[in-house]
């Protein structure tokens, strides 16, 4: 990220976006971590000191956007970064900031996850741009990721509106060549001017009040009209293809790469035109009218839902008198799927069907090789917790306490690595799993159902980072409404799933500075919960504490299970114990354990030796946490403290 | 005896609400645990046969086979099983000063069994609050600490299993009839183990008409009193029809009608009132609260009673003549009700090839036990 203008670099999409942010002279960047967005703030944090920039991991996406907006109101350029789910968290503030406008360039970057590769959903946030009326940009390659990000700030300031840049996993996490531009040197000072007239966008207070809503709203719509006009000539909207194509493909984002590849493989350059849009909301009307007039049939290629498709259809209907009746292909007619990621194969299949060309068979030699490799199969890898993961121990305690309690109790789950506890690695403990913070929110609701005959105990779980993000309001709710629930905070001292970003429980921030901590047990106690803290590796204490909490017929109990993540920099590669299975004692298939350790506990560090007929420790994989020694009913697993 | 695995036990007994929480399947493996008087399955296990199922007194209990194992030709169509004699008894001078449930016969006999070295330890039932739990006692003086009845179904046998797993043998147990049935099945070496050795040195059975579900009883009493103050519970003979709860601050009486809903499902198909598979069975004696009914069944039992009477541990008297009819009538009544219930629920002698049963015994014996006789006034 050093200042090397004019040079080409091989960078990841998220690095290209970061470079665009730097080239735009952004001074404040705030985010809540979430795959595939997290690298952006990480990269910025590394150069923040040199670039005289402030970066932070905010407590959640709404606060991140508020922090960025504050900088904008003070005249600085600012960015808020999140993944698609976070957009929903930020949405309330987003509606208001979109309406009221901004001062310094304010850009919201949403990195989305079609196919839900590392998300519990493949939710879309493009409709927010239409619904809340702000411009939406979708870069189609790595160079554009940088260039459009940088331009987004100019656009934002020109319009006085927040601008959204949308990336997807295949852009954010893939790498490509990017030519860097200049990094600016001037640094405006921050000042929030509020002495002007009430509704003055540049000097008045930044206030949304019921009275003048329609005045401000009309202004917002004027900004959108200006944006549409600017987009007419944007270099990010490009047409490639013949003057009179048989089919016009309209696309945006990484899908443009799939379209180009499909057209090239099928040799359709002379038959198919490709209109690649970078500015997908508001639509550039003249530009579209010109291109839609080129032919009768239109294929729209996008991920995931038919956002562009339906907007284009609506426009085509309005413009029918001028451009004629069009036949649209895309999601609505089933030419392309409305779920999951697209790829060149899917686009080729759609093109073949529409143009009635024989679907291209695979090259025979390639097919045979692929089949041979496929037949061998990749070794099966189950989704599981890492060796030495505190969550395995925590869920051992939680599962066993609920099972012993024997009233059909269950866990109301939340978002984090520990969401895997819905699977065998977490003993299938989670029975509800939705949004961040929903675990306790739902438990709070279940905890009020006893007048209707509900007698199942409920344990809500959340991670430490999730606790600050969205669980605190649910905790207040549960306490205030006297719901009878137990909350287990799985405190592994960091935002482990997304790469150990700092959170308010740690004495360090995104910039590496020492900062005050906000202690979860203290917070919970202050709110009025009954709080205990245990080490989840201490299985009996954890289980008994939970049993006591489940037995408490009233109020909210909080158990903080504190143990650092096995992959954390402090722990990684350092074994606390040397582990071994005593083959003399191990009963393996004998009545009693029935290979308890590998069949039920399932730490990847444990295996079964079919020759000896006993369990064994895989020294390479075992993290030396020592927990399995406590689960073996025969005491066959030995642990020796390392010096 | 048909023996299945833990999954069958879970489906047939626990999921059907027949589990009495005796602890027979607990402490054999990591899968079954006892908590608050109930047995829970932590994880499924796919073994096709297991001791857990073999021992369970609510799954495939073959009464004729148990009778043959104890030297009888088949299960008798008699109300109180096979026995040598029935006497009235109470603890003797050697046990002076101990507070027991009724006559203190059980405590006296177990204390002697330990003191004389007949058994190496005794598995008894104590309580934490109102939750019963097994207590293993190795010194004779420790027996009296567990005296008095806990009217809740208790996981006593988990303590027995734990002691056996730890390599102990010659263990004495005080057991309710269901627990004694489980022990009888254990003693049969059901899995045909080569190195099998009968772990139980002495089984003293208690009479039982029903027990109560621990959790339900606690919830019930919590609404009515400070349960920390409870010292003792008794159910006096009819016509009282009450449970008397003795607390620090006085007695309170609860009509039995109110607590009968707290009886677990497993008791409703239990045919045994007098602990027929024990060496000795002890219950109350109508009209004489400080005495017991004592049934001597096995040679082991007889020898212990003889020594106890000789050495001042036990006083015995011949059984009051009118009482025997009452006793046998009550036992017959329980047997009839249980067999009728089991049959109605499809749990008695189910088709051996297609269905599993809770209880099996010769069909003619069933007819004889259910068939005749009017319903007898039952104690509880
Ligand atoms: C659940 C239950 C129901 C009973 N129902 C009847 C009945 O219907 N008719 C009748 O005549 N007698 C019944 N009894 C037996 C009676 O209450 C006395 O236990 C018996 O008379 C022996 O008296 P004792 O003075 O010799 O006992 P104690 O000397 O006081 O000794 C009692 C012994 O019982 C054991 N014990 C206590 N509670 C339990 C339990 N829940 N499970 C297993 N062991 C236990 C203790 O370990 C102790 O060793 C019942 C007992 C129980 C536990
Ligand atoms: S190590 Fe322990 S739990 Fe694992 S197979 Fe051996 S005896 Fe069973
Ligand atoms: S010590 Fe046991 S539980 Fe811990 S990582 Fe090694 S094998 Fe897994
Ligand atoms: S009745 Fe006893 S042996 Fe049967 S399942 Fe219940 S606790 Fe286990
Ligand atoms: S009635 Fe039968 S099953 Fe119930 S506690 Fe008594 S002996 Fe056990």
A251-283: pLDDT as tens digits: 999 999 999 999 999 999 999 999 999 999 999
The pLDDT, as a whole number, for residue B352 is 79
Task: Assign A374 a pLDDT band (cuts: 50, 70, 90).
Answer: confident
**Residue of A385, A388, A582, A619 to mutate, ligand 3, most atoms within 8 A of C-beta:** A388
Report the separation in Å between the CA atom of A601 and the middle of ligand 3, taken as the mean of its atom positions.
Answer: 10
Question: Residue B359: CB within 6 Å of ligand 5?
Answer: no
Per the DSSP assignment, residues forming a β-bridge with A177 are: A10
Flag whether pLDDT at B307 surpasses 90. Answer: yes
The DSSP H or E segment spanning A365 is helix A364-376
Question: Residue A248: CB within 6 Å of ligand 2?
Answer: no
- Contact check, Cβ <8 Å, A594/B28: no
**Contacts with A591 from chain B: Cβ below 8 Å:** 28-29, 47, 50-51, 191
Question: Residue B284: CB within 6 Å of ligand 1?
Answer: yes
Interval A576-602 mean pLDDT? 90
Report the separation in Å between the CA atom of B209 and the middle of ligand 5, taken as the mean of its atom positions.
Answer: 7
CATH architecture under which domain B214-262 falls = Roll (3.10)
Task: Assign B377 a pLDDT band (cuts: 50, 70, 90).
Answer: very low
Mean pLDDT lowest for which of A207-221, A315-329, A421-435, A565-579?
A: A565-579
pLDDT tens column, A475-497: 999 999 999 999 999 998 877 66
Kindly identify the ligand whose nearest atom is closest to the C-alpha of B142. Answer: 1
Question: Residue A586: CB within 6 Å of ligand 2?
Answer: yes
- Contact check, Cβ <8 Å, B30/A427: no
Kindly identify the ligand whose nearest atom is closest to the C-alpha of A626. Answer: 3
Question: Residue A389: CB within 6 Å of ligand 3?
Answer: no
pLDDT tens column, B152-169: 999 999 999 999 999 999
- Contact check, Cβ <8 Å, A591/B30: no
**Contacts with B33 from chain A: Cβ below 8 Å:** 400, 403-404
Question: Residue B209: CB within 6 Å of ligand 1?
Answer: yes
Q: Which amino acid residue places its CA nearest to atom 6 of ligand 2?
A: A586
Average pLDDT over chain B reads 93
- Contact check, Cβ <8 Å, A405/B45: no
Long-range CB pairs of B343-351 (<8 Å, 24+ gap) are B343/B370, B345/B269, B347/B18, B347/B269, B348/B269
**Contacts with B40 from chain A: Cβ below 8 Å:** 403-406
Structure tokens at A49: 């000191």
pLDDT tens column, A28-70: 999 999 999 999 999 999 999 999 999 999 999 999 999 999 9
The pLDDT, as a whole number, for residue A496 is 65
Question: Residue B329: CB within 6 Å of ligand 5?
Answer: no
Please report the number of interchain residue pairs, chain A to chain B, with beta-carbon separation below 8 angstroms.
42
Task: Assign A2 a pLDDT band (cuts: 50, 70, 90).
Answer: low
Q: Which chain A residue shows the shortest CA-CA distance from B26? A: A592
CB distance A636 to A586 below 8 Å: yes
* Structure-model confidence comparison of residues B64 and B380, the more confident one: B64
**Residue of B61, B178, B213 to mutate, ligand 5, most atoms within 8 A of C-beta:** B178
Q: Which amino acid residue places its CA nearest to atom 4 of ligand 2?
A: A597
Q: Is A93 left (phi over 0), alpha (psi -120 to 50) or beta?
A: alpha
Length of chain A: 643
Task: Assign A446 a pLDDT band (cuts: 50, 70, 90).
Answer: very high
Longest CA span, chain A = 87
**Contacts with A588 from chain B: Cβ below 8 Å:** none
The pLDDT, as a whole number, for residue B90 is 97
Question: Residue A388: CB within 6 Å of ligand 3?
Answer: yes
Q: Which chain B residue shows the shortest CA-CA distance from A547? A: B35
Neighbouring C-beta atoms of residue A309, cutoff 10 Å:
23
Q: What are the DSSP E strand ranges found in chain B?
A: 32-35, 38-41, 61-62, 85-91, 121-128, 131-137, 171-175, 200-206, 230-234, 242-247, 250-255, 280-284, 292-296, 314-318, 359-360
CA-based torsion, B61, B65, B69, B70: positive or negative: positive
CB distance B29 to A633 below 8 Å: yes
B43 touches chain A (CB under 8 A): yes
The pLDDT, as a whole number, for residue A30 is 98
Kindly identify the ligand whose nearest atom is closest to the C-alpha of B210. Answer: 5
Task: Assign A13 a pLDDT band (cuts: 50, 70, 90).
Answer: very high
Report the separation in Å between the CA atom of B357 and the middle of ligand 1, taken as the mean of its atom positions.
Answer: 28
CA B228 to chain centre: 26
Sequential DSSP letters for B172-194 = EEEE-HHHHHHHHHHHT-TT--T
**Contacts with B53 from chain A: Cβ below 8 Å:** none
Residue B87: phi, psi to the nearest 5?
Answer: -135, 170
Alpha carbons A67 and A88: distance in angstroms, whole number: 17
CB distance B6 to B40 below 8 Å: no
Report the separation in Å between the CA atom of A332 and the middle of ligand 1, taken as the mean of its atom positions.
Answer: 75
Distance (Å) from the alpha carbon of B294 to chain A's nearest alpha carbon? 37
The pLDDT, as a whole number, for residue A497 is 64
Q: Which among A400, A427, A594 has CB closest to B47?
A: A594
Percent helix / strand / coil, chain B, rounded to 5: 35, 20, 45
Interval A202-207 mean pLDDT? 95
Placement of tokens 């019930």 in the chain? B220
Interval B1-5 mean pLDDT? 91
Strand-pair category, B280-284 with B292-296: antiparallel
Flag whether pLDDT at B32 surpasses 90. Answer: yes
Question: Residue A306: CB within 6 Å of ligand 3?
Answer: no
Test the B interface: residue of A406, A586, A595 with most B CBs within 10 Å: A406
- Contact check, Cβ <8 Å, A592/B42: no
B47 touches chain A (CB under 8 A): yes
Residues 153-172 of B with CB under 8 A from A: none
Question: Residue B91: CB within 6 Å of ligand 1?
Answer: no
B196 touches chain A (CB under 8 A): no
Q: Which amino acid residue places its CA nearest to atom 6 of ligand 3?
A: A622
B46 touches chain A (CB under 8 A): yes
Interface residue ranges in chain A relative to chain B, Cβ cutoff 8 Å: 399-400, 403-406, 427, 547, 591-594, 596, 600, 631, 633
The pLDDT, as a whole number, for residue B376 is 43
CB-count exposure of residue A55 (10 Å: 0-12, 13-18, 19+): buried
Predicted TM-score (pTM) of this structure = 0.90
Q: Where in chain B is the domain with CATH 3.10.450?
A: 214-262
Test the B interface: residue of A426, A591, A598, A634 with most B CBs within 10 Å: A591
Report the separation in Å between the CA atom of B125 and the middle of ligand 5, taken as the mean of its atom positions.
Answer: 15
Interval A109-123 mean pLDDT? 95
Test the B interface: residue of A399, A404, A588, A598 with most B CBs within 10 Å: A404
B58 touches chain A (CB under 8 A): no
CA B328 to chain centre: 17
Domains and CATH numbers, chain A: 8-181+194-231 (3.40.50.970), 238-355 (3.40.50.920), 390-562 (3.40.50.970), 577-641 (3.30.70.20)
Neighbouring C-beta atoms of residue A154, cutoff 10 Å:
13
Flag whether pLDDT at B375 surpasses 50. Answer: no
Kindly identify the ligand whose nearest atom is closest to the C-alpha of A391. Answer: 3
- Contact check, Cβ <8 Å, A404/B45: no
């Amino acid at each position: 990220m050093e200042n090397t203008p004019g040079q080409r670099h091989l960078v990841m999409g998220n690095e290209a976006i970061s470079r665009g942010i730097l080239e735009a002279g952004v001074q404040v960047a705030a985010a809540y971590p979430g795959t595939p967005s997290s690298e952006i703030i990480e990269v910025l944090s590394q150069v923040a000191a040199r670039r005289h920039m402030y970066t932070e991991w905010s407590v959640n996406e709404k606060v991140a956007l508020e922090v960025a907006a504050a900088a904008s109101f003070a005249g600085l350029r600012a960015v808020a970064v999140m993944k698609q789910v976070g957009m929903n968290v930020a949405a309330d503030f987003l509606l208001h900031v979109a309406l009221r406008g901004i001062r310094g360039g304010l850009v919201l970057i949403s990195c989305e996850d079609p196919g839900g590769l590392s998300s519990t959903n493949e939710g879309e946030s493009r409709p927010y741009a239409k619904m809340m009326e702000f411009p939406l940009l979708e870069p189609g390659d790595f160079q554009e990721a940088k260039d459009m990000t940088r331009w987004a700030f100019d656009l934002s300031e020109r319009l006085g509106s927040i601008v959204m840049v949308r990336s997807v996993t295949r852009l954010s996490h893939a790498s490509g060549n990017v030519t860097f531009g200049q990094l600016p040197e001037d640094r405006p000072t921050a000042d929030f001017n509020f002495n002007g007239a009430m509704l003055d966008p540049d000097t008045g207070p930044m206030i949304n009040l019921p009275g003048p809503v329609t005045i401000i709203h009309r202004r917002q719509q004027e900004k959108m009209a200006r944006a549409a006009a600017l987009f007419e000539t944007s270099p990010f909207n490009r047409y490639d293809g013949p003057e009179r194509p048989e089919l016009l493909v309209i696309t945006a984002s990484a899908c443009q790469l799939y379209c180009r590849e499909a057209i090239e493989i099928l040799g359709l350059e002379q038959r198919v035109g490709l209109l690649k849009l970078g500015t997908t909301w508001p639509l550039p009307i003249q530009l579209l009218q010109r291109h839609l007039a080129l032919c009768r049939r239109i294929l729209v290629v996008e991920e995931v839902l038919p956002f562009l498709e339906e907007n284009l259809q609506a426009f085509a209907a309005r413009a029918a008198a001028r451009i004629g009746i069009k036949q649209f292909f895309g999601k609505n007619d089933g030419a392309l799927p409305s779920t999951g990621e697209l790829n060149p194969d899917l686009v080729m299949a759609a093109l073949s069907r529409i143009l009635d060309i024989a679907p291209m068979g695979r090259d025979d030699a390639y097919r045979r090789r692929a089949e041979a490799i496929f037949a061998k199969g990749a070794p099966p890898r189950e989704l599981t917790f890492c060796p030495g993961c505190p969550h395995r121990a925590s869920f051992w305690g939680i599962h066993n306490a609920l099972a012993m309690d024997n009233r059909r109790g269950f866990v109301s789950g939340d978002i984090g690595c520990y969401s895997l506890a819905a699977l065998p690695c977490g003993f299938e403990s989670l029975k509800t799993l939705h949004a961040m913070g929903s675990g306790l929110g739902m438990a709070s609701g279940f905890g009020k159902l006893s007048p209707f005959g509900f007698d199942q105990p409920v344990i809500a779980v959340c991670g430490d980072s999730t606790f600050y993000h969205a669980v605190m309001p649910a905790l207040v709710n549960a306490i205030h409404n006297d719901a009878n629930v137990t909350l287990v905070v799985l405190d592994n001292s960091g935002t482990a799933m997304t790469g150990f970003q700092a959170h308010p429980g740690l004495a360090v921030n995104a910039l590496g500075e020492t900062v005050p901590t906000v202690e979860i047990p203290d917070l919970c106690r202050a709110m009025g919960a009954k709080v205990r803290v245990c080490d989840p590796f201490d299985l009996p204490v954890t289980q008994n504490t939970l049993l006591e909490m489940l037995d408490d017929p009233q109020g909210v109990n909080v158990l903080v299970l504190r143990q650092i993540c096995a992959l954390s920099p402090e722990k990684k590669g350092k074994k606390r114990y040397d582990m071994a299975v005593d083959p003399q004692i191990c009963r393996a298939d004998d009545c009693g354990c029935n290979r308890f350790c590998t069949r039920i506990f399932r730490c990847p560090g444990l295996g079964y030796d079919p020759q000896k007929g006993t369990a064994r420790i895989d020294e390479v994989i075992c993290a030396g946490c020592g927990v399995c020694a406590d689960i073996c009913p025969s005491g066959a697993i030995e642990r020796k403290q390392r010096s | 005896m048909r023996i299945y695995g833990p999954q069958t036990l879970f489906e047939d007994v626990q999921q059907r609400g027949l589990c009495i929480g005796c602890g027979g399947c607990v402490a054999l493996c990591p899968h079954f645990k006892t908590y608050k008087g109930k047995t829970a399955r932590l994880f499924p296990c796919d073994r096709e046969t297991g001791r857990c199922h073999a021992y369970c007194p609510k799954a495939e209990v073959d009464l004729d086979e148990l009778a043959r194992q104890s030297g009888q030709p088949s299960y008798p169509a008699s109300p109180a099983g096979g026995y040598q004699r029935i006497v009235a008894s109470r603890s003797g001078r050697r046990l002076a000063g101990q507070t027991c449930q009724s006559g203190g016969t059980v405590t006296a006999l177990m204390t002697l069994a330990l003191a004389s070295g007949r058994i190496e330890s005794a598995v008894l039932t104590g309580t934490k609050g109102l939750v019963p739990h097994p207590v293993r006692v190795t010194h004779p003086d420790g027996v009296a600490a567990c005296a008095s009845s806990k009217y809740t179904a208790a996981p006593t046998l988990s303590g027995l299993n734990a002691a056996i797993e730890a390599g102990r043998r010659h263990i004495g147990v005080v057991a309710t009839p269901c627990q004694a049935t489980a022990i009888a099945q254990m003693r049969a070496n059901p899995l045909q183990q080569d190195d099998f050795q009968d772990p139980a040195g002495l089984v003293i059975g208690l009479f039982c008409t029903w027990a109560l579900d621990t959790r339900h009883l606690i919830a019930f009493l919590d609404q009515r009193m400070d349960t920390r103050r409870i010292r003792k519970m008794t159910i006096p003979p009819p016509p009282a029809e009450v449970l008397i709860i003795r607390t620090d601050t006085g007695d309170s009486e609860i009509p039995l009608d109110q607590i009968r809903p707290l009886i677990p499902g497993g008791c409703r198909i239990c045919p045994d009132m007098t602990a027929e598979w024990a060496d000795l069975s002890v219950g109350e004696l109508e009209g004489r609260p400080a005495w017991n009914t004592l049934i001597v069944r096995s040679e082991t039992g007889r020898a212990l009673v003889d020594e106890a009477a000789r050495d001042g541990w036990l006083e015995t008297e011949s059984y009051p003549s009118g009482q025997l009819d009452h006793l046998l009538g009550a036992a017959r009544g329980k047997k009839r009700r249980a067999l009728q219930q089991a049959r109605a629920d499809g749990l008695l002698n189910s088709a051996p090839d297609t269905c599993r049963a809770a209880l099996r015994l010769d069909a003619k014996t069933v007819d004889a036990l259910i068939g005749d006789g009017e319903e007898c006034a039952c104690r509880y």
